[in-house]
Structure 1
């Protein structure tokens, strides 16, 4: 790992520590404020406070870097330049209901590609991270693991695959529920772990594919590099290696084309 990349990963992990403190301090708080954005998705005061803290730390440590965040918008003038992408709380619906499956997602972009990514889920005691060309790793407080390497599964037959999506109803809303149902019929088992979690399960080799019919760049930047550095693939539904296509498929790589053959538009 280059010195610069190592320093950026170290910074990203320290920022994630600070983000964890913010999100945990408001998790299950009796006075948690929950509002709805124009797209009807929930946002809490913790989402905003967490992103503000992330932006403050980036400004202090990397004052020349721009930021794209879910709650505060973008200061990115040139998408081809170095910048950070942050989702302060991925899984806000869970967070607002007191479900511990939520995470802060932070990625450093070099142009349009993530080169550093951290996914931190403090209520689960879990974290996943990666840097370009250096592999992906995870920590697990409950199991006493501080840094274990990640590797995707070796499942090569779609009929043996364990797959996940986020919300079946969203497939209905966009008129493509038949594609998801076709995939479930072609595979061994399906679940709806959703959000960051199923992509991290792919990176750990516990799921074989995660299908996200609606996603933004801040949902995907950090998971993308973790999955890829664990040996998998994350693309849009056309197979494009991008995080801004509005959708995502992550797999162990071996099954990728087979899944695309079913869900591709």
Structure 2
């Protein structure tokens, strides 16, 4: 498997889908209810997913694809599986907020080896290959520095769609993090948060039962930039795409910052 070829295909695919999204946002699109929890899907999600899936399966018909809207496609039980998030930030798009990205991840036997995230608004793309670092579309290597946090860390928060508003763990954790951080961002686009962490724009990220489709691409980019990811209790993080929702809770930060975040999370969990 030529992973550089796969990266080029993925980058070309997300950039093509990004142009489609930009045109669609300006031309108008339909918004439809998705599930019973108030989530939505747009015509743009479906159109972007079609572009991405067609390009992947044309190049790799022997691969499997798990797409956010279409589910499992391609070859079942394949060694190689693509995860497709055609529009991360759908709710933002639906209300006219230009904060959304596209994500692709390629996994071998359940372990992410390639991650790509594209921002159609800024037309920037970030990608990573396992063991080879993370880069921007201009070729700049991502390596966020550790920095002082005299007023607390600047954090991003993400949680899975199935998490209820009255979840006791979430209420306790968020209350602690909001009290003791400088800011806590909730962008509704976790892949964008991962990129911000990999670039050094924010100090850390906390996730609770994160979604399986959009987690691997961003997490791999952050890891390859030098970010460390742990489970909420500080134990090793299970990065397999087959991990349960409970195992997809995490704390991510620069290694020098991580102990501070783990202490914050620990105090929130013990409340």
1:160-199 correspondence runs (5 A): 160-166=152-158, 172-175=165-168, 176-194=170-188, 195-199=190-194
Taking structure 2 as the reference length, what is the TM-score of the superposition? 0.83
- Deviations along 1:197-218, whole A, 9 cap, x unmatched? 2221110011111123242111
- Cα distance in 1 for residues equivalent to 2:224 and 2:26: 34
Give the conservation status (yes or no) of the 8 Å contact 2:107–2:114.
yes
Shift of residue 171, structure 1, vs aligned partner: 7.8
1:33 alignment partner, one of 10, 30, 35: 30
Match status 1:151 vs 2:143: yes
Corresponding residue to 1:260 among 252, 259, 262: 262
C-alpha deviation, 1:151, in angstroms: 1.2
- Could you tell me how far apart the structure 1 residues matched to 2:263 and 2:110 are? 26
Do residues 241 (structure 1) and 238 (structure 2) align? Answer: yes
Counterpart of 2:225 (choices 227, 230, 250) is: 230
Structure 1 residues 248 and 72, CA gap change in structure 2 (3 angstroms): farther
Consecutive unaligned residues of structure 1, counting only runs of 5 or more, are: 140-145
Per the normalisation by structure 1, the TM-score is 0.85
- CA RMSD in angstroms comes to 2.5
| Map of 2:214 onto structure 1 | 219
Work out which of the residue numbers 112, 135, 138 in structure 1 matches 2:136.
Answer: 138
Bigger mean CA deviation after superposition, 91-100 or 61-70: 91-100
Aligned to 1:115: 113
Equivalent residues of 2:207, 2:249 under 8 A apart: yes
- Distance in 1 of aligned mates of 2:147 and 2:198: 13
User: Is there any run of 5+ residues in structure 2 with no aligned partner, and where?
Assistant: none
